[in-house]
A and B are shown apart, each in its own frame.
Chain A
């Protein structure tokens, strides 16, 4: 009959008491398992968020860097000058919930006239009308007389839709509901081969290619609007075009855009010889300032936007992100403080439960302890007996508690930890792909840690009672009833 067997028998001897104690301890252990799991999950959410944000910023910065040699020119009050090609802007779009918060409201820029290409950085909800047409030949001198210019891409954009009057903030606006936007770009091999002028996200069929005419690349939205697919003929402003491909929406601003050859676009919209914007590619990106100054000097009527200015806008975006992250981190810190406090309480409660139960047991078994010592048990074997009983009690409870905690960790941690506010900055919304809700799950590490804790807390709680047991004087214990 070993010491372990005796410990087990003593625990199972008082079934109701043992059950109650084990339930209480198991609950503590379940909490002890759930809290770290919750904290880990919160931390993971925050890390994912931080990673996603920095990826987004990085990618956008990269895109902007790739377009650093680009200058957009248009006549005021056009918004086309504000943006750059939507397909390039990628993840940065407010309509998707990208970084919508810098705008004053959740208006889809496409719902408003102008700015059909621009608007990534929120040209504002009350954008002006159609971009003013520019006589293409008037601007040939940009390519011919300004040094440092590598190529010029003339663009014609025209939106088709209906007008609607809306009241907002006590004022009345005429709002153009855009059905689709035609964008004409010159399909020359020089531009297509050397510059990012085509959509980068073709999901069906093929992209436009040099020399294409009478064909169109639709957006998915266009495809649904016209009810046509790849290979079909679509009638645009009364003229038939063959659909060669469909591009996916990589930003809200190209959601409604169909691409075709510039001359086709000029013909079909009755704008022969006219464009709405120019994109100037400089030979190197450090020539951009010089070239844009030269353009402004040559054509003071143009609104000129450079990649450098877009980078500045990105910076302000970055700081908004940082604020959001800081707020998330602060929130995580708050959670960790709460978690720590709760763990201290649980640890204290666990060892106190063991302490009182074992003190009671020792008191109850005073005579037994006296007998054991009288028949030759040493102080240390008596002490070991009671330590083992406390540890065993705690370990049984630990096993039960870990099992419960593993199952109930999401519920328990939700109950016990303050919810983490990852997007604490007012008005900043983060796209769904950026946000991440990590699942609260108990991993092996936490299980082992909690098991170790149950052993340690059992030992800690029964240390004093076991010491008391060892110190019992047998002669006096015999008189005890």
Chain B
């Protein structure tokens, strides 16, 4: 049984909007085990980004606890938090957020700064990661010379630079066409399978969410529904329709001949 790497208890987050207090998260509870691939869905303004930011230590809870490996990060001072972000978290953003004046490799090297790695080591690691996301030979390209899908791959490579425990992805496919969407989801899913990286992904896209193993529906700052995704089938090597054994590479179940990764309406949002 996997152990929980993230435990959220009674988390609330309020923002001041002028004099009015806006409640973005309300007494939210969530436990995520090591190696899980979790999708957070929900309508706009439901608190998805806020939740991800609190988990990623770039926003602070108003009340409640956020335990990362049993340590409450909610009350940690900034001079410790940045190290957690650097060493444990890998952020992937909807808008990629690559530095435009750095090439792909230099962008991937950024999180390694201050980790005591030599220039050569940083270079090597960045090249390896870029190769892993399918961008070997593109190391020297600046973001404006890469397609949107390629830019998001660079961002994923950057997120992986320090071998983080978590990948936190906020609508990573939001700015991509369907072809690139599928590839980025595949990339994340494979990452989760092969490296065991815990992934929490905010998405609006049901198809994308369906490829995770656990889907959460957020509404008005609360988790209102939870559902298993198709990724679980991959992990368990079982067909989600008939329950017979399948290979991870199978797209269609050898027994019932139904597609394993079917499209269905997940939550009525």
Contacts and interface: CB of A to CB of B under 8 A. Distances in A.
Interface stretch (B84-92, B191-199, B207-215): B84-92
Given A1-B109, A475-B53, A475-B58, A377 B82 contact: yes
Nearest to B102: A1
Interface string B105-136: 01001110110000000000000000000000
Interface in B44-86: 50, 53, 56, 58-59, 78-79, 82-83, 85-86
Contact of A371 (B53, B56, B99, B113): B99
B59 A376 contact: no
Contacts of B26: none
B162 interface: yes
A345 interface: no
A375 B86 contact: yes
A474 interface: yes
A374 B54 CA distance: 11
Given A9-B101, A475-B58, A475-B59, A374 B85 contact: yes
Interface string A360-376: 00000001101111111
B222 interface: no
A378 interface: yes
A375 B114 contact: no
B139 to A, nearest CB: 12
B82 A373 contact: yes
A376 B101 contact: no
B204 interface: no
B262 to A, nearest CB: 34
Contact of B56 (A10, A374, A377): A374
Given A474-B58, A475-B58, A372 B101 contact: no
Given A374-B56, A375-B85, A375-B86, A6 B93 contact: no
Contacts of B113: 1, 377, 381
A305 B158 CA distance: 102
B97 interface: yes
Contacts of A414: none
A478 interface: yes
Contacts of A373: 58, 82, 85
Contacts of A370: 58
A379 interface: yes
B101 A371 contact: no
B109 A367 contact: no
Counting contact residues on chain A (CB < 8 A from B), the size range is: 20 to 34
Given A475-B58, A478-B93, A375 B158 contact: yes
Nearest to A371: B97
Contacts of A10: 101
Nearest to A481: B95
Contacts of A473: 58-59
The interface centre, meaning the residue of B97, B111, B114 with most chain A CB atoms within 10 A of its CB, is B97
Contacts of A13: 101
A394 to B, nearest CB: 20
A375 B92 CA distance: 9
A371 B93 contact: yes
B102 A374 contact: no
Nearest to B162: A376
Nearest to B82: A378
A1 B161 CA distance: 14
B82 A379 contact: yes
Interface in B15-58: 50, 53, 56, 58
Contact of B85 (A1, A367, A368, A376): A376
B170 to A, nearest CB: 8
B83 A376 contact: yes
Interface string A442-481: 0000000000000000000000000000000111001000
A183 B159 CA distance: 107
B239 to A, nearest CB: 39
B166 to A, nearest CB: 13
Contacts of A475: 50, 53, 58-59
Contacts of B86: 375-377
Nearest to B122: A1
A372 B110 contact: yes
The interface centre, meaning the residue of A13, A379, A381, A474 with most chain B CB atoms within 10 A of its CB, is A474
A1 B106 contact: yes
Contacts of B97: 367-368, 371, 478
A13 B99 CA distance: 12
Nearest to B123: A1
Contact of A374 (B87, B91, B99): B91
A372 B101 CA distance: 14
A385 to B, nearest CB: 10
Contacts of B56: 374
A368 B99 contact: yes
Contacts of A367: 97
A373 B99 CA distance: 13
Contact of A376 (B50, B87, B93, B109): B87
A473 B53 CA distance: 11
Nearest to B106: A1
Contacts of A381: 113-114
Nearest to A9: B101
Nearest to A477: B58
A374 B138 CA distance: 25
12 contacts: A1-B102, A1-B106, A371-B91, A371-B97, A372-B99, A374-B58, A376-B111, A377-B86, A381-B114, A474-B53, A475-B59, A478-B53
Interface of B: 50, 53, 56, 58-59, 78-79, 82-83, 85-87, 89-91, 93, 97, 99, 101-102, 106, 109-111, 113-114, 158-159, 162
A-B pairs with the 3 shortest C-beta distances?
A: A376-B86, A475-B59, A474-B58
Given A371-B99, A374-B58, 8 more contacts: A9-B101, A374-B91, A376-B85, A376-B89, A376-B114, A379-B78, A379-B82, A475-B53
Interface of A: 1, 6, 9-10, 13, 367-368, 370-379, 381, 473-475, 478
